[in-house]
Structure 1
Amino acid sequence: MTAAKPILLNAFTMNCVGHINHGLWTHPRDRSADYTKLSHWTDLARTLEAGLFDAVFIADIVGVYDVYGGSIDLTARETIQLPVNDPTLLVPAMAAVTQHLGFGVTVNTAVEHPYTFARRVSTLDHLTDGRIGWNIVTGYLDSAARAVGRDAMAEHDERYDRADDYLAFLTKLWETSWEDGAVRRDKAGRVYADPGAIHEIQHDGPYYQGRGTHLSEPSPQRTPVLFQAGSSGRGQRFAARHAECVFISAADPDAARRISRELRAAVVAAGRRADDIKIFVGLSVVTGATDGEAQDLLEDYVSHASPEAGLAHFAAGSGIDFSVYGLDDEISYGPTNAIQSTTAAARRKGLTKRQLLDGLKLGGRYPLLVGSGDTVAEEMIRWIDEGEIDGFNLTRTVAPECWHDFTRFVVPALQARGRYKTAYGEGTLRHKLFGLGDRRKAFGA
């Protein structure tokens, strides 16, 4: 009999006040506004490691949400991912108070040059003993393009073409500039590194060019674990070629299964194995000691949430200004240059503004599980088995109590069913997730 698949779990957050479930920053027990304090993040890291989370997945955005109403008015009032601070600077402090927790950080290929970015990631991989992952995003906000001196974002598919070239440049730096035996640390012989084993790489791609030696000695993983989110046709092809962990959006297990099968088929077509990727679904959970207690907690949370702020967030992702529509008007879900997959479900269902707002009662668009630890655990297992996924990006609601509640009620219920680890394994983040060593297989390493 095949052993039941263990559930992988990332805490999904952002270095800001309002991330996914908007408006909950107003809840009296919410401490998201402490995001500028280092203790906020070190406390979170300790909590997540106590709950045996695989990683903290830190989202990021460059630019501001100015599509809804053509301004940042609601964005600023409801702190819709504004203000937002750098995600990478959190990692060393969180790593210092943990031993096993992984870190997935989001960095946009459109605003970072690969040569200097390669050093920053290698530095993080060293400081975390190989616990770093990179969430590859190509950007979708024209406000971000304008902020760095461009008129608008490049076309959707071209952004992925650029990202392919970006990864090719990085791969040369991380995997080939320094040989495995280059670092000698020979004090008696006065040789720290063998110059003959260090190579200048040259990259002459369609978008990026450069010649130079990688500034960092090889880190435990060399290449970080590669995360990616993108369900469009071009996004899936990019994931099939590069990604190790893929973050998808799905309303139910049936949708998750369809997307998962498409992704794994694309991975196989790219010459890899179907299980060379781990697939994660975004999820919100409200839990308590009993189903009734969880429902009461949900009602409390909903009373502080902002569905309109959630709609403004969706407007940025879809490129559609929903503020100009009446509640029951027909919405034109035409093609845009933003996140193509974002509008697909809304277009298929012909959702009105009223229906969109109804689906954003907690301020966010992710599937919501509510109930006791046993109830939530059973539903999570159903998603894994029927949706053919590997785990979840668990987004915050009222923080930090949401992380404490999940660890207190849901983790033991999953462990009792044999679907969640009772201790961390050893090794780097890649080794913990895949058990196949520390080097990136798809790079021929």
Structure 2
Amino acid sequence: MTDAATSIRVPRNSVADAALLADFLTMSEFGATPAGGVERQAATAEDGHTRAWFAQWLTARGFSVSYDRIGNMFGLYEFVPGAPYVLAGSHMDSQPRGGKYDGAYGVLAAAHAAQRLVQYYSTGAATPTFNIGVVNWFNEEGSRFKPSMMGSSVFAGKIELETALCATDPAGVTAQQALIDIGTISSNDVFGAGTGRSVACYAEIHIEQGRELDKGGITLGLVDKTWAANKYEISVIGAQAHTGATAMVDRQDALYGAALAVVAVRELAERYGEDLHTSCGQLTVYPNSPVVVAREVHMHLDLRSPSDTLLDEADAVLRQEFAMIELKADVHIERRYAHTWKGHTYQPEGVELSRQVAADLEVSQMLVQTRAGHDSTNMKDIVPSVMLFIPSVDGVSHAENEFTNNEDLVTGVDVLTETLARMLEGALNP
């Protein structure tokens, strides 16, 4: 690595910063909600409009745009014919009434960083070893189709393509049909065997979705580890009955059983403190009538921990709690794993690379762990990967009042640009 004084490829540029912020405002108009967030769940019309706009943005700047068989969107620029690609990106889909920063900033940041590097290398100031690509992963949020991180999971070989394509939304529409409807799916892959393209390494920048950076007044988080997670699909089975006429002792109230399960999951978190996060994010009640005792409730629960061992212990405790709930509520509980991943570390050389970049750019930094899942948690298992965070004000995320200051947005792109430049020149692939 050269001295810091000569290693910065693209110094901060006020015109480029203004362009980033203007594009972010434009992107945030797609699926905009009155309260300042966005709603563009995966493969909805709003997601399709965002993808169409982004495709135009990329092609206007010399990138070729392609989709793969699970609807991942790639903007590719070739410096060296036949060389592998450095990929950077995140996702543009959102939660229902979600925030406009989550995921989408990472895709736009990658695009602006890539554009700056295309301009830099076109001057002949240096010669990259690899090509560069921007990626918008399909269905990272997992709100319309389950599981989450679907596009990158298929790409990394963790979910079968057909399993993902056959996933259905609450209306019964498959992921495949939804992607066909918005015209962003291909019958071919973009990377892998037979394509002539491979990935050398990956980078992602994201809002933190927590308060550590914001509390500490720190600009950049260097992600060195991801929490483990268990996500469950739960069915609580009871018996449908009349809410007035049926004696209390005779009831097999699925909603009562589900309520006990929600409380048990929350109390499980209280037992372990901040080393375990738990939630119930969704309940669907059948028949959902005001005068009928519920016969069935479908629920989605998750447990997350920095410790694989603790997560396994919490899983065992949860089984015991469910057994007691079955007896107390006279119901049957079916439990299925919807999505799981172990806690893993990011490659130390990637963390060190981003630390050096932050130091060279004089950006304050700290090590952080990600409690949330990200596409980089899949990518790090197949190629060297870097994950960066910028602050979320008050730690708010998955909500319309999610917010990150403009100064942090532009600084994040500066750091990502320099990180990608060093990756393009072989820093993670010696």
TM exceeds 0.5? no
More strand by share: 2
TM-score scaled by structure 2? 0.26
TM-score scaled by structure 1? 0.25
Please identify the structure whose Cα radius of gyration is greater: 2
